[in-house]
Amino acid sequence: MSDQPLHPDTVAVHAGRSDFAALGVHASPIDLSSTNPLPDIVHGGDSYESISTGGHPLPEGGNVYGRLWNPTVARFEEALAELEHAEESVAFSSGMAATTAAILSHTTAVGKHHVVAVRPLYGGTDHLLDSGLLGAEVTFCEEGEVPGAIRPDTGLIVLETPANPTLDLVDIAAVVEHAEGVPVLVDNTFATPLLQNPLDLGATMSLHSATKYIGGHGDVIAGAIACSAQTAQQLRRVRAITGSLLHPLAAYLLHRGLPTLPVRMQVQQENARKLATLLQDDPAVATVFYPGLDDPRGIVGRQMRGGGAMVSIRLTGGYAAAEALTGAVRLFTHAVSLGGVDSLIQHPAALTHRPLPPDVRPGADIIRLSIGLENIDDLAADLTQALAATPEAASV
Ligand SMILES: Cc1ncc(COP(=O)(O)O)c(C=O)c1O
């Protein structure tokens, strides 16, 4: 084989499997051990010291304890890191656990007490930051306001692009340039590593709610952060202390799903692009939010390799139309979450973004669609019939 870098489609299939041949296996072995036999006190203790401070287990001391290290999780982490062009990745029990560790490790743990957060963000992330639970003071701002918001005690800048739920795009490289060296956390959940690699643009951490596209089948809750080896050490220390390691069965499912992530993303994105175009002509729809439709800075193409598979719409009939639409769809499931093989519909103001202060909560006339792998004609027909049943459209 030549030395040219492997295509991401190939990486998705092969990454994190380098020890399979030596183990004589073809699927990732699931290690469910909650504790591990120790060779002796000295070596076991040295390994404990290494892992509990965020390092790797020492070969002669073993993995010690299931809250500190798990080899099935480590294989998934290795695979995700390769897809994200990162030295390492760190997997957590949920996306929110990952966000919590990212904030704690860059604020309280290093004596910094301020975070700059670019809105919009996923409602849970916004809620966590706004709650004050983690002891950090937060300045919420828009992308252009980041330089003015940074203080000497700012430990972290948090942003999400495309952002949940209105698919707003943030120029990652521009934020990094104005960050004055402050670490930048990018929530890359909507784009996945296939469409966007924040670390290549200077970001410090690329975070995933792996519950979404990486899991892809609606059966795993998980989070992960791709980053440098040094940052991974800081994150693992917090993970070990606070107890938020991903469960090995979940890691197995995530690793098992990675090989199909590129084809899933490709088809789901194509379905979403076609639906976004179709919805623009529907009289029941006032605005279509889809990356690339309104993108004067050309972020899709420059920063993202496509618009992704999420579409949001503003309905001409307001909240009444939104309520009717969620009840009228037949193929789309009315449910929160996103990124799976089946299409979902939900009302952000009432659900995913409910905890937000009213002045920044998404409009009551906005509906979010996660586009799945179903046939595009079936999806289009379902949305068209459901939109025709909304009050505004029905009265036309
Ligand atoms: C963009 C984004 N980030 C983070 C999260 C939180 O992830 P989890 O639900 O896995 O904790 C979500 C969940 O919906 C999300 O949409």
CATH of the domain at 363: 3.90.1150.10
pLDDT of residue 3: 82
Cα 394 to averaged position of ligand 1 atoms, centre (Å)? 35
pLDDT of residue 142: 97
What are the residues whose beta carbons fall under 8 Å from the beta carbon of 149, sequence distance 6 or more? Answer: 116, 139, 141
Q: Which two tokens stand for residue 358?
A: 């009213």
Q: Could you tell me if residue 11 is inside a domain? A: no
pLDDT of residue 126: 97
Q: Which two tokens stand for residue 217?
A: 């089948």
Choosing from 209, 214, 344, 352 the residue with most ligand 1 atoms within 8 A of its CB, the one to mutate for a pocket test is: 209
Q: Could you tell me if residue 191 is inside a domain? A: no
Whether residue 396 is predicted with pLDDT greater than 70 in this model: the reply is no
Q: Could you tell me if residue 43 is inside a domain? A: no
Q: For the CA atoms of 83, 87, 90, 96, what is the dihedral angle to 10 degrees?
A: -70
Q: Could you tell me if residue 238 is inside a domain? A: no
Cα–Cα distance measured from residue 338 to residue 85, given in angstroms and rounded to the nearest whole number? 24
Closest-CA residue, ligand 1 atom 9, reads 95
pLDDT of residue 395: 63
| 163 CA: nearest ligand 1 atom | 1
- Average pLDDT over the chain, rounded to an integer: 97
pLDDT of residue 394: 60
- pTM exceeds cut of 0.85: yes
Q: Could you tell me if residue 195 is inside a domain? A: no
pLDDT of residue 88: 98
126-140, 274-288, 382-396: which range is least confident on average? Answer: 382-396
Choosing from 121, 170, 211 the residue with most ligand 1 atoms within 8 A of its CB, the one to mutate for a pocket test is: 211
Total structural domains within the chain: 1
Whether the upstream peptide bond of residue 248 has omega within 30° of 0, thus cis, is: no
Q: Mean pLDDT across the stretch 235-256?
A: 98
What are all long-range contacts of 130-133, with beta carbons under 8 Å and residues at least 24 apart? 130/355, 130/356, 130/357
For residue range 148-166, list pLDDT tens digits in order: 999 999 999 999 999 999 9
* 3-state DSSP of 84-101: CCCCEEEEECCHHHHHHH
pLDDT of residue 307: 98
Choosing from 94, 119, 122, 219 the residue with most ligand 1 atoms within 8 A of its CB, the one to mutate for a pocket test is: 122
Q: Mean pLDDT across the stretch 119-143?
A: 97
Annotated catalytic residues are: 67, 122, 187, 212
Q: Could you tell me if residue 205 is inside a domain? A: no
Evaluate whether 360 touches 372 at the Cβ level (below 8 Å). no
Residues lining ligand 1, CB < 6 A?
94-96, 122, 124-125, 160, 164, 187, 189, 209, 211, 221, 223
Whether residue 56 is predicted with pLDDT greater than 60 in this model: the reply is yes
Nearest to 340 by CA among 261, 276, 277, 278: 261
| 189 CA: nearest ligand 1 atom | 1
In 3-state terms, what secondary structure has residue 207?
Answer: strand
Q: Could you tell me if residue 252 is inside a domain? A: no
DSSP string, 327-376: HH-SSSEE-S---SSS-EEE-TTTTTTTTS-GGGSPPTTEEEEE--SS-H
Closest-CA residue, ligand 1 atom 7, reads 95
Query: ∠ at Cα 102 (223, 302), nearest 5°?
Result: 75
Cα 95 to averaged position of ligand 1 atoms, centre (Å)? 5
Q: Could you tell me if residue 225 is inside a domain? A: no
Q: Mean pLDDT across the stretch 111-117?
A: 98
Q: Mean pLDDT across the stretch 40-47?
A: 98
For residue range 191-208, list pLDDT tens digits in order: 999 999 999 999 999 999
Q: Mean pLDDT across the stretch 34-57?
A: 98
Domain carrying residue 316 = 262-395
Cα 164 to averaged position of ligand 1 atoms, centre (Å)? 9
Cα 341 to averaged position of ligand 1 atoms, centre (Å)? 17
Whether residue 270 is predicted with pLDDT greater than 80 in this model: the reply is yes
pLDDT band at 284 (very low <50, low <70, confident <90, very high): very high
pLDDT of residue 195: 98
Whether residue 2 is predicted with pLDDT greater than 80 in this model: the reply is no
Cα 190 to averaged position of ligand 1 atoms, centre (Å)? 10
